[in-house]
């Protein structure tokens, strides 16, 4: 049964990575679409889901709500007798720290998320979605 919980935890980690890739990669694609004239990057559903995704992250940070994906993954890792993220770190803080060998305080990630969110909101003005067909 422990292998089952470990597999569930890994599945949540993959989902979490896909979410992060969508948020970060989505903005990169919007910026590229702006410079290259890609109309699909102005799609209303894509843009609305993108704003909601980063808005959710920023809201969690502002209100001190732990990421539900991190909580769920850590829960299943504990049931599988595996170690979750150390010192109450979240998914992004853990992996950015691991990838860049940089251990940043939690508040810095909140600032980065907020600035990123403001950039996403700015793109609604500078490269607006096509809300009407």
pLDDT tens track of the chain, all 133 residues? Answer: 667 888 888 888 888 888 999 999 999 999 999 999 999 999 999 999 999 999 999 999 999 999 999 899 889 888 988 776 665 556 666 665 566 446 678 888 899 999 999 999 999 999 999 866 5
Kindly report the pTM of this predicted structure.
Answer: 0.82
Block residue for tokens 């502002």:
62
CB atoms within 10 A of CB 38: 14
Q: Are the CB atoms for 23 and 57 separated by under 8 Å?
A: yes
């Amino acid at each position: 049964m422990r292998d089952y919980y470990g597999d569930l935890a890994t599945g949540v980690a993959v989902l979490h990575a896909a979410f992060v890739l969508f948020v970060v990669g989505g903005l990169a694609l919007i910026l590229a679409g702006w410079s290259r004239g890609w109309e699909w990057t102005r799609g209303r559903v894509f843009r609305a889901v993108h704003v909601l995704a980063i808005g959710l992250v920023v809201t969690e940070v502002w209100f001190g709500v732990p990421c539900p994906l991190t909580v769920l993954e850590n829960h299943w890792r504990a049931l599988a007798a595996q170690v979750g993220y150390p010192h109450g770190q979240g998914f992004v803080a853990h992996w950015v720290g691991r990838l860049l060998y940089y251990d940043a305080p939690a508040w810095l990630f909140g600032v980065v998320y907020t600035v990123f969110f403001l950039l996403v909101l700015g793109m609604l003005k500078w490269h607006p979605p096509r809300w009407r067909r």
